[in-house]
Chain A
Amino acid sequence: MKLNHQKTSTYIFSVLAALSLAACSGPQVRYGDAKGVETISVDYGSTDLQSIAEAMSRSLLQTKAISGSRDAPTVTVTDVKNKTSEYIDTRVITDKIRTQLLKSGQVRFAVNINEMQSQVDELKRQNQSGLYKNSTISKTGNMEGAKYRIEGSISSIVKLTKNVKDVYYVFNLNLINNETGLLEWADEKEIRKTATR
């Protein structure tokens, strides 16, 4: 009887030890596919970002203003307006589009308004500090103006019932000629996501 009691207490002790050891170990980490489809929620996610950037940059490169130009035209990017109800870092979208366009070699990008302060600071440092050799200075007044600017917006429509949540995103992008003010190209990417319980 006593032996049986001892066996039981040893068993309980080992189970508790195993449980406590499991509790002390960290979470399991694994690498996933960055381009894999993400369907955790209906909120704006990485797959949306990737599909928007890819569709827009491909469409933009086919426009006559870029593909028909002998030289690589200079373009600048303005922020994409977020008209949705959720927080979206739109800078990531434009950065991704810009990277894809730059990789194509068909377009050159001028610094945008968000990068101007660092550009001005650098020019001021080189030109006005008196520390640099004259022949190596990047001179003030020689920045290149962009021929086109890219601007756009992202909007959403959300429908919610007891069991269903439906989100519709539409992303618009425009290419505008800075000198003439003409809209040279425009395209949109639509995304619909539905979640059911």
Chain B
Amino acid sequence: MYKNYIHQLYLIGIATLILSGCGTPPLRSGQTLLPSPFIQKPIAETIKEEQKSIAVTNIFYRKEGANLKYVEEISSKYDISGMALPHSSSTKELEKLPTVSKSVDSNDVFAGMQSSAFPIKFTNPADFKPSDHPSIQRELEARLEKTGTSPPIPNASANSTTVTTQQTKKSGFETKAEYGQLRTFSAAIRGLLIKAGYKVVQANPAIPTSSQGDEFFYVVERIKAGEFNSADYVMFGVLGEMSFTDNSEGIVGTKSTSQQIGLDLIVDFSLIDTKTYQVVASFLAKGNGKEIRIDGKGNGFKPSMAKLMKQASTTLAEDVANHLSDQNFVTSKIAEPEIGRNYKIKPFDDDASSLKVYTK
């Protein structure tokens, strides 16, 4: 009996030792368990292997414009010989004042797109104050003076007349939005995806309706409507901001100036799986086109808009490639930085007069 008990204890001890040998060693202080980087297969490789297709949309945009509007309403009430007549009113809407907007030459960029009845404005209309614009302020005051007091003349045959005039003046902004697509900037992105080995399919152009709202950007609805044919992924871009700059600066140490003309745009990109509507990659990419002219200011230099747009499109595609690479969508970087001749030369320690023989 006692022997059996010892034997059992012996067996348990051996089993415990075997088990502890097979177990994972305990974590030391400061050690944490991390998931292996090789557990998940890269998205890019999966997509390439499975020959999945990507549709790249044109860049969607929303142009917002605001007109300063002035409305004057005159309401008059006549009381002849103590007998009140039914009140009559007249409303007069003055013609619109000149549109208040920054002089952005981005009309050139949008040339060929839907025409706009109002200038483009990419700034917040609420920021506008008439007092900041002396010409508009003067015009407003002039119109107020012109239409200030002109009550209608009552019937001349009446003995006594009481006229009550109520005048209401309203001014404010009338905001309008226009929706569309920029066709110029997506070709370079499609090109980089093709170069990286993806199958790119054409997306149908989105045509805005006359009373278009923000549903223009509902990409999931568009996927459901089959606008991207049989694409497995949709690269959807919305224009965030586009600006045209023209600055001139003196070059220190010289008598020259440098005129810098630039076209900058930022685009909000989302890469969406058309089956699950999962956003596979999302980022904000920047494109920049610039033209520099030495002593250009004052010499009537006109920049080439086509050149600026080409540069902006190329740099935008490069930025997209870098973001897609960061988010593991493109495995081979398209936009490799140019390798300059920046290497350190090892100086010769030996005498220049000594004979040196170099072999391959």
CA distance A82 to B345 in the complex (A): 33
- Most B CB atoms within 10 A — which of A108, A120, A124, A141? A120
Chain B contacts of A120 at CB under 8 A?
Answer: 251, 254, 256, 294
The answer to whether B253 and A106 touch across the interface, beta carbons within 8 angstroms, is: no
- Decide if A141 touches B292 in the complex (CB within 8 Å): yes
Q: Mark A106-119, 1 if CB is under 8 A from B, else 0.
A: 10100001101100
A116 to B346, CA, bound (A): 29
Given contacts A124-B294, A128-B293, contact A72 B343 (CB under 8 A): yes
Q: A141–B340 Cα gap in the complex (Å)?
A: 16
Is B90 close to A, CB under 8 A? no
Cβ of A103 within 8 Å of any chain B Cβ, yes or no, is: yes
Please tell me if the beta carbons of A72 and B254 are within 8 angstroms of each other in the complex.
no
Q: Contact at B294–A116, with CB atoms within 8 Å?
A: no
B344 lies within 8 A of A71 (CB): yes
Q: How many inter-chain residue pairs (CB < 8 Å) link A and B?
A: 46
Tally of chain B residues near chain A (CB < 8 A) = 18
Across the interface, do A72 and B342 meet the contact criterion of CB distance under 8 Å?
Answer: yes
Asked whether any CB of chain A lies closer than 8 Å to the CB of B252, the reply is yes
Q: Is the CB of A114 within 8 A of B253?
A: yes
- B251 near A116: Cβ-Cβ < 8 Å: yes
Q: Are A105 and B254 in contact (CB under 8 A)?
A: no
| Cβ–Cβ contact A71 & B342, under 8 A | yes
Residue of A nearest to B299 (CB): A128
Given A116-B251, A141-B290, A104:B347 Cβ within 8 A = yes
Asked if A140 is at the interface (CB within 8 A of a chain B CB), the reply is: yes
Tell me if B's interface is mostly helix, strand, loop or mixed: loop
> Does A49 have its Cβ within 8 Å of any Cβ on chain B?
no
Contact B252 A113 (CB under 8 A): yes
Instruction: Assess whether A116 is in contact with B344, with CB atoms less than 8 Å apart.
Output: no
Given known pairs A114-B253, A120-B254, the reply for A105 and B346 (CB within 8 Å) is yes
When the two chains form the complex, which single residue of B253, B290, B340 contacts A117, counting CB atoms closer than 8 Å? B253
Cβ–Cβ contact A123 & B294, under 8 A: yes
Q: Does B255 contact A (CB under 8 A)?
A: yes
Residue on B with the closest CB to A106?
B344
Residues on A with beta carbons closer than 8 Å to the beta carbon of B256: 117, 120-121, 124
Residues of A within 8 A of B241 (CB): none
Closest chain B residue to A115, Cβ basis: B253
Q: Please report which residues of chain A, range 156-194, place their CB below 8 angstroms from some CB of chain B when the two chains form the complex.
A: none
Pick from A71, A113, A117, A121: contact of B343, CB under 8 Å: A71
Complex Cα distance A144/B338, Å?
Answer: 13
With both chains docked as a complex, state the minimum distance between the C-beta of A75 and any C-beta of chain B, in angstroms. 13
| SS of A interface (majority) | helix
In angstroms, Cα B295 to Cα A128, docked, is 10
CB B257 to nearest CB in A, in angstroms, measures 10
In this complex, what residue of A is CB-closest to B251? A120
Residues of chain A within 8 A of B251, CB atoms compared: 116, 120
How far apart are B255's CB and chain A's nearest CB, in angstroms?
7
Report the bound CA distance from A126 to B235 in whole Å.
41
Q: Is the CB of B292 within 8 A of A140?
A: yes
Say yes or no: B347 contacts A116, CB within 8 Å.
no
Q: Which of B307-360 contact A (CB under 8 A)?
A: 340, 342-347
Which residues from chain A contact B342 at a C-beta distance below 8 Å? Answer: 71-72, 108
Report chain A residues within 8 Å CB of B253.
Answer: 113-114, 116-117
Residues in B with CB closer than 8 Å to A105 are: 344-347
Verify A72–B347 contact, CB threshold 8 A: no
List residues of B (211-256) whose CB comes within 8 Å of A's CBs: 251-256
| CA of A123 to CA of B293, assembled, Å | 10
Give, as a whole number of angstroms, the nearest-CB distance from B310 to chain A.
14
Bound CA span A114–B254, Å: 8
- Chain A positions within 8 Å of B254 at CB level: 116-117, 120
* Complex alpha-carbon distance, A103 and B347, angstroms: 8
Q: What A residues does B255 contact at CB under 8 A?
A: 117
Over the window 128-156 of chain B, the binary record of Cβ atoms lying under 8 Å from chain A Cβ atoms (1 yes, 0 no) is 00000000000000000000000000000
Shortest CB-to-CB span from B293 to chain A, Å, is 7
What distance in Å separates the Cβ of A125 from its nearest Cβ neighbour in chain B?
10
With a cutoff of 8 Å between Cβ atoms, the chain A residues found around residue B294 in the complex are 120, 123-124, 127-128, 140
Interface set of B (CB-CB < 8 Å, partner A)? 251-256, 290, 292-295, 340, 342-347
Given A72-B345, A141-B290, 11 additional A-B pairs, CB 8 A: A103-B347, A104-B345, A104-B347, A105-B347, A113-B252, A114-B253, A116-B252, A116-B254, A117-B256, A127-B294, A140-B294
Of the A-B pairs whose beta carbons lie under 8 Å apart in the complex, a sample of 16, sorted by A's number, is A72-B343, A72-B344, A103-B347, A104-B345, A104-B347, A105-B347, A106-B345, A108-B342, A116-B254, A117-B253, A117-B256, A120-B294, A128-B294, A140-B294, A141-B290, A144-B340
The 7 closest A-B pairs by CB, nearest first: A105-B345, A113-B253, A116-B253, A124-B294, A117-B254, A71-B342, A140-B292
